[in-house]
Chain A
Amino acid sequence: MTSPMLFEPNRPGSKDVAWCPGCGNFGIRNILRKVFAELNLTPQEVVIISGIGQAAKMPHYIKVNGYHTLHGRSIPIATAVKASNPKLTVIAEGGDGDMYAEGGNHFLHAIRRNPDITVLIHDNQIYGLTKGQASPTTMLGMKTPTQPWGVFEEPFNPIALAIALDASFVARTFMGYFEESVGIIKKAIQHKGLAIVDIFHPCVSFNKVNTYEWYHKHTYWMEDHDPYNREEAFKRAIETDPLPLGIFYIHEKPTFEEQVMAYKKDKTPLWQRKPKFGEIKKILGAKKGF
């Protein structure tokens, strides 16, 4: 195991952390550093692709490769990074708005595509960076500046949705449980295929309902659950109060990178390859005839 301190950034810009004091993102950062250390990774071999939002600022506060991209677009970018260089450990990271609203379509299709990446969703059930609007996971009835009479749209259930689509790895944790979260995210990264981890964490500034205390009170750990049983996993996924935590579902299946023609024979990362001029010549030769 390496030291979590290996992932402490020393760049001038990484000192000015934009998160509010008490924000759950700090906890997730500490969890990540521990996970990377326990997995014996180096900063050079990890890439975090993030979207937009407070959660998406993670690449600036940790020492690994990072790409802070666009709202909702981290998953397609992460998919291609992994496909271009499968030697990298690739994580797509964002908040509930980023992954489930703006990036909802990519979330769905990434499950179908099954790239070997880990998707971490900081789920605080609110939009923090834009000051407190409802997110897809905000609970019914919650009043916000833009939903003054209370949210009436059914909250998005990412766990049930992912299991319904037969995702490869589906888990939920609460960052308030440090060691357990380290364990789950570690397993998610080690899992071959798309791993989705919905991480509950409070927004201390804008979500006065889903506090640390609330998550402790309204969640429980699944003890005797068999993650290889899809039906059971789905039953757990639609429980509402208390909300189950743990690994809901695992389905090992071929990944995107394993199935594309590019890696059928040659495992060299794409970025190190040269164009096959011989094959171009062959095709041009065929174009002389039929």
Chain B
Amino acid sequence: MVEFKEDVSIVLGGAAGQGIQTVEEILTRVLKLSGYNVYANKEYMSRVRGGINTTEIRVSSKKVRAFVKRIDILIPFKRGVLPWLENRLSENTVVLGERENVEEEFMEKITFVEVPFNKMAKDVGSPLYLNTIAAGIAVGLFHGDFEILKEYLRKRFGSKGEDVVSKNIEAAEKGYSLGVKLCEEKTIGINVKKDERVKEEVLLSGTEAIALGAIAGGMNILTFYPMSPSTGVAVFSAQHAEEFEIIVEQVEDEIAAINMALGAWFAGARGMVTTSGGGFALMTEALSLAGMAENPIVIHLAQRPGPATGLPTRTLQSDLNLVLYSGHGEFPRIVLAPGSIEEAFYLTATAFNLADKYQVPVIILTDQYFVDTYYNLPEFDLSGLKVEKHIVETDENYKRYLLTEDGISPRGIPGYGKGIIVANGNEHDEWGDITEDEELSRLMQEKRAIKKLRTIRKNAMMPELIGSEEARYLVISWGSTYHVIKEALENLGREDIAFLHFKWLYPLPSTVKEVLEDKVLIDIEQNVTAQFAELLKKEFGVSVDHKILKYDGRPFSVEEILDALKGVLE
């Protein structure tokens, strides 16, 4: 018997179009409602049909939020899945499925449990029921609540008629009893505890958290041009545009997208664009306009590997330098990178107030791994969220670019007050009219690039320190690697190592320097040149001692981080 305790990693693998998403959805929702903590993440190929896509689902007694390399239970829907996942398999891996989907050379290396999915599906009436059977087995292995599974199927297939519903329930039942039987026969042993509180939690993805955060932050308009992996934010927003009474517009190109968002802010509304590296590259012209015209804007950039088309459906943190230095001329910007789904929600909402307050571009950096991850978490507390618009009612003498000590000019908008607003992408005087005056040109450059940046830096968020301030070793990371590193450090269980996670990447508060002093610094990033370590060097003159980098387009796993840290510490 193969036995799994506390935390089980289930992987489904098959061709695009085979319905893995359906199984994933049934499983995570039904298991969560049965009281299990769940986490899911997928990897997929840039194609519509065929290839191999996989989904990892962790089911656990406690909250799990990170990708693990280990596969406990594998359900392959086609041949080729096992070779694709070869380095993640072990003799403890139980493969459930058709004999024909397991290549001969793997039979020795895994525990194989034959499940005649196709025959079972045909018995129900059609090969289409294969997915429901697979989901049923997995739910059965955990002794999940079958009533919930039935209810789910009713809801999902209800529109297709009673026959489809009852056939699906029949398929689920077949799978479920097989799953239960595998446990009873002691082929597979699963010991994961349920937690009643989980049932009341929400199951949310990174994508959904960004979209909901934007809406909570007062987003009125979302403009975009579809690009993986950023499109999900637009899909979610579009599907809820009616209840939120927002505009979600797919436009002709990324250039139009960002310019529209700028127009929205100019008129006093709040606009956001969602894009990826290649799309952002096209937006950099308008980013400079935002800098010069002091036009607020919020940009969500879901990173994928580049350059150019790169690996369109995979993950990397290699656009940090792009967002730090893009645009011509000198102007400040704020760069944020949430580490958790909660953070994605609150930080995105905050991004809108920051853009308004400082009148600068605010860029939220996520990546494919982050947007495609989901897990259960406590419902958000909306009571602390406030929309702070910082818009003034203008008088007749209003000057859009009034020179002030902190570099922030009160922002008026057309049609609100007696003044008129002249915004300008040319160098301008305080009224907004074109100037080539020496003194004014200098003052305006200083206003934007020095005074305003200083004001923002003063109010920048400190990174989160996990562990002791006295620890000798300090792991540094940013954005989506948060939970993977956290879990690796928990597994490592050493007191002399702490973790500094950055969700506010730029401008960095100057007090960060003190935290970095007299430590052995271990930088963990998903790019090839350690871009964040370079930023720390530039800002504070510190050099990291060790770099743990990954750049094959796949996310870091807990095991990889753990091994790498052990290597550094020994």
Pairwise interchain contact A84-B221, C-beta atoms closer than 8 A: yes
A235 within 8 A of B: no
Whole-angstrom CA separation of A271 from B269 in the bound complex: 4
Pairwise interchain contact A76-B202, C-beta atoms closer than 8 A: no
B201 within 8 A of A: yes
Contact A280 B418, CB 8 Å, known A261-B241, A287-B202, A287-B204: no
Instruction: Give the distance to chain A from B423, nearest Cβ to Cβ, in Å.
Output: 4
B524 within 8 A of A: no
Q: Which of B203, B247, B285 contacts A260 (CB 8 A)?
A: B247
Instruction: Give the distance to chain A from B294, nearest Cβ to Cβ, in Å.
Output: 12
Q: Which of A60, A263, A271 contacts B267 (CB 8 A)?
A: A271
Pairwise interchain contact B255-A60, C-beta atoms closer than 8 A: no
A149 within 8 A of B: no
B216 within 8 A of A: yes
Instruction: Give the distance to chain B from A51, nearest Cβ to Cβ, in Å.
Output: 10
A47 within 8 A of B: yes
Which stretch, B135-143, B258-266, B298-306, touches the partner chain A?
B258-266
Pairwise interchain contact B218-A105, C-beta atoms closer than 8 A: no
- From 21 to 44 in chain A, residues with beta carbon under 8 angstroms from any chain B beta carbon are 43-44
Pairwise interchain contact A80-B245, C-beta atoms closer than 8 A: no
B220 within 8 A of A: yes
Pairwise interchain contact B259-A262, C-beta atoms closer than 8 A: no
The range of chain A's interface size is 35 or more
A68 within 8 A of B: yes
Pairwise interchain contact A83-B264, C-beta atoms closer than 8 A: yes
Could you tell me how many residues of chain B have their Cβ less than 8 Å away from some Cβ of chain A? 79
Pairwise interchain contact B433-A60, C-beta atoms closer than 8 A: yes
Q: Which of B199, B218, B285 contacts A70 (CB 8 A)?
A: B285
Contact A77 B262, CB 8 Å, known A105-B253, A282-B243: yes
Pairwise interchain contact B431-A12, C-beta atoms closer than 8 A: yes
- From 229 to 248 in chain B, residues with beta carbon under 8 angstroms from any chain A beta carbon are 240-248
Contact A85 B289, CB 8 Å, known A44-B418, A283-B212, A284-B380: no
Map CB proximity to B onto A84-110 as digits: 1 under 8 Å, 0 otherwise. Answer: 110110000000000000000110110
Pairwise interchain contact B29-A76, C-beta atoms closer than 8 A: no
Residues of chain B lying within 8 A (CB to CB) of residue A73: 255-256, 259, 286, 289
Closest to A83 in B: B247
Instruction: Give the distance to chain A from B232, nearest Cβ to Cβ, in Å.
Output: 15
Pairwise interchain contact A261-B246, C-beta atoms closer than 8 A: yes
Contact A65 B220, CB 8 Å, known A275-B215, A287-B203, A288-B202: no
Residues of chain B lying within 8 A (CB to CB) of residue A43: 420
Contact A109 B422, CB 8 Å, known A77-B266, A266-B245, A288-B201: no
Closest to B289 in A: A70
Contact A65 B247, CB 8 Å, known A277-B385, A289-B33: no
A237 within 8 A of B: no
- From 365 to 420 in chain B, residues with beta carbon under 8 angstroms from any chain A beta carbon are 379-380, 382, 385, 387, 391, 413-415, 417-420
Pairwise interchain contact B264-A60, C-beta atoms closer than 8 A: no
B421 within 8 A of A: yes
Residues of chain B lying within 8 A (CB to CB) of residue A70: 259, 285-286, 289, 425
Residues of chain A lying within 8 A (CB to CB) of residue B421: 65-67
Pairwise interchain contact B220-A270, C-beta atoms closer than 8 A: yes
Residues of chain B lying within 8 A (CB to CB) of residue A287: 202-204, 208
Q: Which of B203, B247, B286, B419 contacts A261 (CB 8 A)?
A: B247
- From 189 to 212 in chain B, residues with beta carbon under 8 angstroms from any chain A beta carbon are 199-204, 208, 212
Residues of chain B lying within 8 A (CB to CB) of residue A88: 267, 414-415
B434 within 8 A of A: yes
Residues of chain A lying within 8 A (CB to CB) of residue B414: 44-45, 47, 65, 81, 85, 88
Pairwise interchain contact B382-A277, C-beta atoms closer than 8 A: yes
Contact A280 B387, CB 8 Å, known A68-B424, A79-B263: no
Q: Which of A45, A87, A262, A290 contacts B241 (CB 8 A)?
A: A262
Instruction: Give the distance to chain B from A139, nearest Cβ to Cβ, in Å.
Output: 29
Residues of chain B lying within 8 A (CB to CB) of residue A109: 251-252, 256
Residues of chain A lying within 8 A (CB to CB) of residue B387: 274-275
A49 within 8 A of B: yes
Residues of chain A lying within 8 A (CB to CB) of residue B503: none
A69 within 8 A of B: yes
Contact A49 B263, CB 8 Å, known A84-B220, A262-B245: yes
Whole-angstrom CA separation of A284 from B216 in the bound complex: 12
Whole-angstrom CA separation of A267 from B257 in the bound complex: 23
Instruction: Give the distance to chain A from B566, nearest Cβ to Cβ, in Å.
Output: 38
Residues of chain B lying within 8 A (CB to CB) of residue A13: 428-429, 431-435
Whole-angstrom CA separation of A260 from B221 in the bound complex: 10
B223 within 8 A of A: yes
Map CB proximity to A onto B145-165 as digits: 1 under 8 Å, 0 otherwise. Answer: 000000110011000000000
Residues of chain A lying within 8 A (CB to CB) of residue B428: 13
Instruction: Give the distance to chain A from B14, nearest Cβ to Cβ, in Å.
Output: 23
Map CB proximity to B onto A137-150 as digits: 1 under 8 Å, 0 otherwise. Answer: 00000000000000
Closest to A279 in B: B243
Residues of chain A lying within 8 A (CB to CB) of residue B221: 80, 83-84, 270
Whole-angstrom CA separation of A277 from B431 in the bound complex: 37
- From 96 to 138 in chain A, residues with beta carbon under 8 angstroms from any chain B beta carbon are 105-106, 108-109, 113
- From 237 to 290 in chain A, residues with beta carbon under 8 angstroms from any chain B beta carbon are 260-266, 269-277, 279-284, 287-290
Residues of chain B lying within 8 A (CB to CB) of residue A108: 252
B522 within 8 A of A: no
B279 within 8 A of A: no
Instruction: Give the distance to chain B from A266, nearest Cβ to Cβ, in Å.
Output: 6
Whole-angstrom CA separation of A80 from B269 in the bound complex: 9
Instruction: Give the distance to chain B from A193, nearest Cβ to Cβ, in Å.
Output: 17
Pairwise interchain contact A81-B267, C-beta atoms closer than 8 A: yes
Q: Which of B215, B223, B246, B260 contacts A262 (CB 8 A)?
A: B246
Pairwise interchain contact A274-B218, C-beta atoms closer than 8 A: yes
B441 within 8 A of A: no
User: Which residue, A263, A275, A289, has most C-beta atoms of chain B within 10 A?
Assistant: A275
A201 within 8 A of B: no
Closest to B243 in A: A279
Pairwise interchain contact B415-A85, C-beta atoms closer than 8 A: yes
Instruction: Give the distance to chain B from A167, nearest Cβ to Cβ, in Å.
Output: 16
Contact A280 B266, CB 8 Å, known A12-B431, A262-B246: no
- From 187 to 224 in chain A, residues with beta carbon under 8 angstroms from any chain B beta carbon are none
Q: Which of A63, A105, A113, A261 contacts B420 (CB 8 A)?
A: A63
Residues of chain A lying within 8 A (CB to CB) of residue B419: 44
Whole-angstrom CA separation of A230 from B79 in the bound complex: 59
Instruction: Give the distance to chain B from A162, nearest Cβ to Cβ, in Å.
Output: 16
Residues of chain A lying within 8 A (CB to CB) of residue B156: 290
Pairwise interchain contact B266-A67, C-beta atoms closer than 8 A: yes
5 pairs of A and B residues whose beta carbons are closest in the complex: A13-B433, A80-B263, A271-B268, A84-B269, A84-B267
18 contacts between A and B (CB under 8 A): A43-B420, A67-B423, A68-B425, A70-B259, A70-B289, A77-B263, A84-B221, A85-B414, A109-B256, A113-B249, A275-B217, A275-B244, A275-B385, A275-B387, A276-B244, A280-B215, A280-B216, A287-B203
Q: 12 additional contacts, CB 8 Å, given A69-B293, A275-B216?
A: A44-B415, A44-B418, A84-B221, A260-B241, A261-B248, A262-B220, A270-B220, A270-B221, A276-B244, A279-B240, A284-B379, A288-B199
